[in-house]
Structure 1
Amino acid sequence: MKILLDENVPVPLAYMARLLLKQHELHHVAEIDGWAGTKDTDLYARAAAAGFQVVITNDTKQMARPLEVAAIAASGLHRVEYRHNHKHGGLVGLGTAVATVCAGLPHALRELEQAASQLLISLTSIDPSHQSRLRIVDPTASPPKHWPAPGDS
C-alpha cells in the first residue's frame, strides 16, 4: 500500500515505520516537495490523485470538522489516526507515538488490504505514564524467588 503520513506525524516515526513495513511505500508530507503546509481539506484530494491509499494522522479533532470530514469522504482514502498526548513531549512523546503506530499499524493494514470500501481506523494508544511503563522491584523490601537473603553467600 502507498501510505502518506500527515504533517502532524513526527518525521522520525516515518523512519521507524519504513523499517518495520518494508512491503509498503511510506511517505511523509514533509518529504514531498511542495506538500508541507497543505491544508487537510486539500491534502486528501491531492493524496488520492497521487495514488496514496492511506493517510495516517494524529489530528484526532479532524473528524469533528465538517469540511475536513467531507474531504476525507470524497477522497475515498482510508484514514488511520492515533492519539498523541502532547503533554508527553520529547523522547516520551516520540516513543509513545512510535510504539502506538508500530504496534497497531500492521494490524490496521491487514484490515485495509481486505476492505471493500473506505475505512476509518483509530489505533489504541500506548499509555506513557510512569506507572504503566515500569515495574520496579526493591529486592530488599520484596525479594524475588531465589533472591539471596542478607548474609547468604
Structure 2
Amino acid sequence: MRLLLDENVPRPLHKVLATFILTHEIVHLLDLQGWSGTRDESLYPRAAEEGFDVVVTNDGRQMERPREVAAIASSGLHRIEYPHKHQGLVGMGVAIATVAAALPAALLLLEEAESQRLITLRAVDPTSSSRLRVVDPGAVPPKHWPVRPSS
C-alpha cells in the first residue's frame, strides 16, 4: 500500500514510520513537488490519481467539513487520523506513540478491507497521572528495599 502523510504530520513521525514499516511505501506530502498547501478538497482526488491508497492526517476536524468529507468519500481512499492537541516534545511523543502502536494493526485491517475505511487511532494519554508511577521508597518501600537504621 502507498500511504500519504498529510502536511500536518510531523516529519520526525515520517522518519520513525519509514524506519519500521518496510512493507508499505510511506510518502510525506512535503516531499512531493508542488503538493505543499494543497487544500483537502483537492488533496484526496489528487492522491487517488497518483496511486495512493491511504491518507494519514492529524486533522481531527476534517470530517466536520462537508466539502472535505465529499472529497474523501469520492476519492475512495482510506483515511487514518490520529487527533491530539499537545505541542512540543509531548505532542511529538504522543503522535509517535499513538501512530507507531496502532498503525500496523490498521494497515492489516486495510489490506483485508473490500471497501473504503475511515480509521481513528486512539491517542496515548500524556498526563502525568496516567504515564508515570512515582514511588518514594522512604515512605513506601518496595519489597526487599533495604531499611536504613533510624538515627
Report the Cα offset of residue 133 of structure 1.
1.1
Report the Cα offset of residue 151 of structure 1.
2.8
Identity rate of aligned residues, in percent?
Answer: 58
Look up the equivalent residue of 1:109 and give its one-letter code. Answer: L
Q: Which runs of 4+ in 1 moved over 2 A?
A: none
Q: Which runs of 5+ in 1 are unaligned?
A: none
Length-normalised TM-score, structure 1: 0.96
CA RMSD of aligned residues (A): 1.0
Question: Residue deviations 1:17-72, cap 9 Å, x none?
Answer: 11111111000111111111000000001100110000000101000100000000
Cα separation, 1, equivalents of 2:89 and 2:31: 22
The answer for the alignment partner of 1:103 in structure 2 is: 101
Cα separation, 2, equivalents of 1:10 and 1:129: 21
Aligned residue runs from structure 1 range 44-63, under 5 A: 44-63=44-63
Aligned residue runs from structure 1 range 7-86, under 5 A: 7-85=7-85
Cα separation, 2, equivalents of 1:51 and 1:136: 49
The answer for the alignment partner of 1:124 in structure 2 is: 122
Cα separation, 2, equivalents of 1:89 and 1:122: 20
Report the Cα offset of residue 125 of structure 1.
0.5
Report the Cα offset of residue 89 of structure 1.
1.2
Question: Residue deviations 1:52-98, cap 9 Å, x none?
Answer: 0000001010001000000000100000001111xx21111001000
- Number of aligned positions between the proteins: 150
Q: Which runs of 5+ in 2 are unaligned?
A: none
Look up the equivalent residue of 2:46 and give its one-letter code. Answer: R
The answer for the alignment partner of 1:142 in structure 2 is: 140
Cα separation, 2, equivalents of 1:148 and 1:44: 62
Length-normalised TM-score, structure 2: 0.97
The answer for the alignment partner of 2:89 in structure 1 is: 91
